[in-house]
Amino acid sequence: MQYTVQPGDTLYKISRRYGISLDALIEANPQIKDPSLIMPGMVINIPGFDDGHYDGGQYYDGHCLVMPNKEKLAELCLPQPYPEVKVEELNSKYAEILQNILAGQESQMTLYHKYLYYHILLKDTQYNHAAELLKAASMIEMRHIYDTMEFIKMLGCEPRFENGCGKPWCGNYVNYELCNVCNLLMDVTQENNYLAKEYKELAMKISDRYISEWLKRAAEDKEHQAKVFKKYYQKYCKPMG
């Protein structure tokens, strides 16, 4: 598969976006003389995608589904790249804060599992468009989980599926009682708005500029997703203020 370099891209960022190693990406592009210098408009090769096939908005590689519906992913994804995951120094206090984001009651883990659970319930129904949107949202949330765990490790702690006090994440944090699509869409709209606010507040409190910038970018994702889910609420349900 080929990719056109966008402003702000680096090979490192592109490798993370497609879930491949930086070395593999460099090896697949021998025409790039200086891997640290790529320019917008350059066309590069993304290894590992050539053997798959595109079918109905989903990308398959053998028996493994590796991408959600392309249209829904594009609807939810903002074009701005994420900051590189790195930290200024070891800091166990910041790691504790990020553990709450990762695996507290209202957290990335909870939202990720909620997206997957209701995707399964809604797929192949009259709300299949909403189901595909939830599946795409789960992929974005998986990226947030991955980055947060990387931050925790770089801060000098072991990333675990537990909050900052050591309480393990629990499947009961997921609300399984959202009995109709309107309740669901209202719930995920409100939850994304809540997380956006929390991320922005933490970005102001955390002095590590790398973590702070990442939280601001993640908050933009949450705000955008809340707007998209609200749009679908208005499509299927009554107007929401």
pLDDT under 50: residue ranges of the chain: 50-66, 240-241
DSSP single-letter state for residue 167:
P
Q: What is the pLDDT of residue 17?
A: 72
Distance CA 162, CA 175 (A): 18
Q: pLDDT value at position 102? A: 97
Q: Which pLDDT does position 195 carry in this prediction? A: 93
* Angstrom distance (rounded) from CA 197 to CA 223: 9
Q: Domain 2-50, what architecture?
A: Roll (3.10)
Ranges of CATH 1.20.1260.10 domains, the chain: 92-236
pLDDT of residue 62: 39
| CATH 3.10.350.10 residue ranges for the chain | 2-50
Architecture of the 92-236 domain: Up-down Bundle (1.20)
Residue 49 confidence (pLDDT): 59
Question: Quick one: pLDDT at residue 69?
Answer: 61
Query: Which pLDDT belongs to residue 239?
Result: 60
Q: Residue 68: which of 125, 4, 147, 131 has the closest Cα? A: 131
